[in-house]
Amino acid sequence: MPFVFDNKSTKVQQLADYLAQLITVREYKVGEKLPSINELSRKHNVSRDTVFKAFLELKERGVIDSLQGKSYFVASQNSNVLLLLDEYTSFKDVLYNSIIKQLPETTKIDLWFHQYNENLFNTILNSSVGRYNQYLIMNYKNDEFSQVLEKIDSSKLLLLDFGKFDKDGRSYICQDFDENFYDALTTIKDDLKKYKRLLFVINKLHRHPRSSVEWFIKFCNDNDFIGEICEEISEQTMEKDNFYIVVKQEDVVKMIKKSREAGLKLGTNVGLLAYNDMPFYEVIENGISSISIDWEEMGNYVAEFIVKKEPTQRFLETKIIKRNSF
């Protein structure tokens, strides 16, 4: 059957991806000769030039090669990988770039974001089953395994980030938002003694796991700190000698603005610890401290899973990067 083109990308790109997919599912095996340019031109109702350029694209990827520029054959097995993340943030950039810089050109990653939309999450996965060699998925929830993932061969699935659910022997590279969070705060316990209150800025709209609230309260109770859950940063919540643990990037910006308005100085008479380290935290406000896993480290382990195709199960350590905000 001829390939049905759409308007999402060029015909050259779509044809190249289609042929790569056929190689992925072993319709064309390594060493086998591909149909000629004329054959593919007639079959898919495209110009010879479109087929030729699609071949050049696959040749640049290292997937195919040619004999004297005429006959084309499969040079290596192309690998297509689905990377489904929750939402875009700058630290997801760190993760993505860490992955792709270690992969061979024959590995192609399709990057999607489900934006915590369950219908979108299910639609993307349902339409992807059987189309990829491997699936790298940030689950929709931290504490519940999404049933649509049952459709994916467990040997090809790698669960990322969230992981407080029964993973049933599946591969995962996750972070722990509970005990690891508690342990990380313990490492700065002495620094926190100068503050009169610790405030965890998180509300019900945040997708950050709510179980971390319980562990924050436990940390405060175990160490005789006055701890409070703060729904949002406002003039009423900004006070001298308070220490704020902030989940969302926009709340970090809001806190910096509100502290300036209140005449407070980060690291001097008010403290700030931001969740998930980002490159610009090093340079703004003389340095923003963060509590985070190492997203580049996660990318390294993900790339290793893709290349070696071996099972892996690990929780990454949550660490605090101390800068000048406390």
Residue 32: CB partners within 8 Å, gap ≥ 6?
A: 73, 74
Q: Domain of 22: which CATH number?
A: 1.10.10.10
Residue 264 neighbours by CB distance under 10 Å: 17
Residue 322 lies in a domain: no
Specify if 32 maps to a domain: yes
- What CATH number does the domain containing 260 carry? 3.40.50.2300
CA–CA separation, 135 vs 143, rounded Å? Answer: 20
- DSSP 8-state symbol, 34: P
Match 């290349």 to its residue by tokens.
307
pLDDT of residue 22: 87
pLDDT score of 306: 95
Q: By C-alpha distance, which of 151, 154, 170 is closest to 162?
A: 170
- Could you tell me the sign of the dihedral formed by the alpha carbons of 193, 218, 187, 241, in that order? negative
Q: What domain range includes position 159?
A: 79-175+295-317
Residue 191 and residue 156 in one domain:
no
The count of structural domains within the chain is 3
CA atoms within 13 A of residue 25's CA, in its CB half-sphere: 10
Mean pLDDT (10-residue bins), the chain, 326 residues: 85 89 83 92 94 90 77 83 93 94 88 95 91 90 90 93 89 96 97 96 86 97 96 85 94 92 92 93 94 96 95 96 95
40 in the same domain as 23: yes
Residues 85 and 170 in one domain: yes
Whether residues 184 and 239 fall in one domain: yes
Per the CB < 8 A criterion, the answer to whether 62 and 104 are in contact is yes
Q: Does any domain span residue 121?
A: yes
Is the residue at 1 inside a domain? no
Same domain, 306 and 168: yes
Is residue 300 located within the same domain as residue 164? yes
Strands (E), the chain: 64-67, 71-74, 79-85, 107-113, 134-138, 157-161, 171-175, 197-201, 227-230, 242-246, 271-275, 289-292, 313-316, 319-321
Domain end marker among 74, 92, 119: 74
List C-alpha distances in Å: 54 to 6, 63, 81, 173: 16, 11, 20, 36
Same domain, 170 and 300: yes
Spatial distance between the Cα atoms of 31 and 28, rounded to a whole number of angstroms: 9
Asked whether residue 187 falls in the same domain as residue 227, the answer is: yes
Q: According to the model, what pLDDT value does residue 6 have? A: 87
- Examine residue 323 and state whether it is found in any structural domain, yes or no: no
Helix-helix angle 37-44:48-61, to 10 degrees: 120
6 inside domain: no
Spatial separation of the C-alpha atoms in residues 180 and 186, rounded to whole Å: 10
* pLDDT for residue 257: 92
